[in-house]
Structure formats: structure tokens, C-alpha cells
A and B are shown apart, each in its own frame.
Chain A
């Protein structure tokens, strides 16, 4: 079966996100009252699998994230 997968990988809370800080400051300079802007990584792909959740979890652990500094979430939907 084929699935559409969406994965978000972000730095764990409390870890400094310098890219987010710079972008947040730029928005502030434009007059928006933005705080705590973070820049997660977003992946989307199609996956042929009988156990998609398990495989996506494994992908995150093995490559897409660095478990030491990242947390992740994902969604899996059948491709019609």
C-alpha cells in the first residue's frame, strides 16, 4: 500500500535555534510582535509500505533527525 507521509523535525525545546532567532528579529523589525520563532524541517514523500508508522519512526531515528537534539512528529495518509 502507498502512503503520503509528512514529517516535521524540530530542535528540542530549550535548544537555541539561531536561524529562528534571526528570522524572528527580522519580523520584529517589520513591526510584528513575534516571539520564539523556530525553524523546523519539513519533509514530505510517498512511501510504499505495509507498516508505514513504524518505518517513518525508524527513518526519523536513523537519519531525518538527530535524536540527541531533535524531536519529530509525522502524519501518514493513504494515497488514493
Chain B
């Protein structure tokens, strides 16, 4: 069975939910303290939370820990690397994904459900979605305002939209360029997403839309 590492930094807090979502998607998952090693894993997830209490900038200090070298190696080997919320911030700070996540346009913490348009179904994380499909997931962040110098060079995977899939300014919760909610690297095997798929991985949570992200990832890793 394929096995994923869920990295736990000081201040990580979505690790248990992520572990459960991966298990529900049909793979093994293990929470791994950031001082440990990622050898023998088929992929890695950097979950949400507030690593190092978001001191300096969200994700900045976690991004400079040794374990990120191993994350970089997994990414180079083509294995799936998923960063959720704080994990996305860590991936950009580590240079594994382009761009930066700045404080929200309205500088406060936003916690609510949003609609997302799946813009790219060719990645290891989105194979089980329909092109242009609209899904629901919650966001919970203060620094989710995606910025990059040249957005035309970014592989956009998820965009904030209204429930019909229109990518409008009103549907943009945090001021992100092009309503970007999730991007991947050129190869597609590194994904950063601000909304929380693990919090939308069971009907009793309000949506199962996020589970397909984990299922896609698990299917890809099995190949």
C-alpha cells in the first residue's frame, strides 16, 4: 500500500484531519515530526496550521528547516507533494512553488466556505474532477493573498469562483491575483492550495468535495 507522510512542525494543527482524509482515500498515512526523515514515503503532505506561530511571515521559518531538503528530493523524483494552507505558504517560501502569499486584502483572518473552480484536471491531485467543475471547501487563513510577478507563467489549478463557476471579484475572498486558490509546479506533482480539502472530506463535515483530491493523489502514487 502506498504511504504518505504528513509533516508536523511546531504549530501545525490540521495533521490529524489530513491523516484521516488520506486513509479514507485508501492509502496509509503517518504523521512525521519535522526532525524525522521522509525516506520510504510515496509522497508528502504539508498540512495547515501556524508553523512557528506564523512569526516573521507565514511559513517562512518552517520553509528553512532541514526536512524541506527531503521534500525537495521527493518533488524532484516526481512524487506528489501537497501543501494545504500553511503548507502552501511553506512551499512558496521554500521556492518549491512560485509566488508569495501576502496578508489578505482585508487584513483579518477569514474562515468560511467558498466555491472553487477546478481549472486544471491534468495534475496528480485533480484527475478525479471534471474540467471546470465547481466544488466547495472551507478556507481559514490570514495570509492567502496570492501574488506573483508574472501570473501567465503559473499553472493555476483552483480559482475562487461563485457557485456557477464564474471567477469574479466578489468571489475572491482575499485579493489573490486571478482569484488563485491553488497552483502547481510545471510538472504538476507539487500542489499548493489555500482551502482545506481535509475539512471537506466527509459528508458530516458539510462536503466530500475535498476527498477526491486525496483519492486522485493516492491513485497517482499507486501507479
* CB-based contact A22/B102 at 8 Å: no
> Which among A18, A41, A62, A66 is the interface contact of B103 at CB below 8 angstroms?
A18
Query: Would you call B149 and A62 a contact (CB within 8 A)?
Result: no
Contact B104 A66, beta carbon cutoff 8 Å: no
Do A66 and B57 have beta carbons less than 8 Å apart?
Answer: yes
User: Is the pair A66, B106 in contact by a Cβ cutoff of 8 Å?
Assistant: no
Measured in the bound complex, the distance between the Cα atoms of B115 and A72 in whole Å is: 37
Is A75 at the interface (CB under 8 A from chain B)?
Answer: no
Q: Are A68 and B107 in contact (CB under 8 A)?
A: no
Told that A66-B93, A68-B100 touch, could you supply 15 new A-B pairs with CB distance under 8 A? A11-B102, A15-B102, A16-B102, A18-B103, A18-B106, A19-B103, A21-B107, A22-B107, A41-B56, A62-B64, A63-B64, A64-B56, A66-B57, A68-B99, A69-B100
Report B41-79 CB contacts with A as 1/0, cut-off 8 Å.
000000000000000110011001000000000000000
Asked if B175 is at the interface (CB within 8 A of a chain A CB), the reply is yes
When the two chains form their complex, are residues B64 and A66 in contact, meaning their CB atoms are under 8 A apart? Answer: no
Q: B residues 90-112 with Cβ under 8 Å of A?
A: 93, 99-100, 102-107
CB proximity of B170 to chain A, nearest CB, Å: 18
Considering the chains assembled together, what is the distance between the CA atoms of A66 and B56 in angstroms?
10
- Which of chain A's residues has its CB closest to B175's CB? A16
Q: Is the interface of B mostly helix, strand, loop or mixed?
A: loop
Which residue in A11, A16, A66 is a CB contact (below 8 Å) of B60? A66
Q: Does B113 contact A (CB under 8 A)?
A: no
Q: Which residue of B lies closest to A63 (CB)?
A: B64
Q: A63 touching B107 by the CB < 8 A rule?
A: no
Q: Bits for A9-44, please: 1 = Cβ < 8 Å to B, else 0.
A: 001000110110110000000000000000001000
Rounded to whole Å, the gap between the CB of A10 and the closest CB of chain B is: 13
Nearest 4 CB-CB pairs, A to B? A18-B107, A68-B100, A69-B100, A19-B107
Q: Which residue from chain A places its CB closest to the CB of B105 in the assembled complex? A: A18
Q: Which residues of A contact B (CB under 8 A)?
A: 11, 15-16, 18-19, 21-22, 41, 62-64, 66, 68-69
Q: How far is the CB of A71 from chain B (nearest CB, A)?
A: 14
User: Who on chain B is nearest to A18 by CB?
Assistant: B107
A16 contacts B100, C-beta separation under 8 Å: no
Which residues of B103-160 are within 8 A (CB) of A? 103-107, 147-149
For B64, the closest partner residue in chain A by CB is: A63
Residues in B whose Cβ lies below 8 Å from that of A16: 102, 105, 175
Neighbouring A residues of B61 by C-beta, 8 Å: 63
Assembly CA distance A68 to B99 (angstroms): 7
The interface residues of chain A lying within 8 Å CB-to-CB of B100 are: 66, 68-69
Nearest residue (CB) in A for B147 is A69
From residue B187, how far is it (CB to closest CB) to chain A in Å?
A: 21
What are 28 A-B interface contacts by the 8 Å CB criterion?
A11-B102, A15-B102, A15-B147, A16-B102, A16-B105, A16-B175, A18-B103, A18-B104, A18-B106, A19-B103, A19-B107, A21-B107, A22-B107, A41-B56, A62-B64, A63-B60, A63-B61, A64-B56, A66-B57, A66-B60, A66-B93, A66-B100, A68-B99, A68-B147, A68-B148, A69-B100, A69-B102, A69-B147
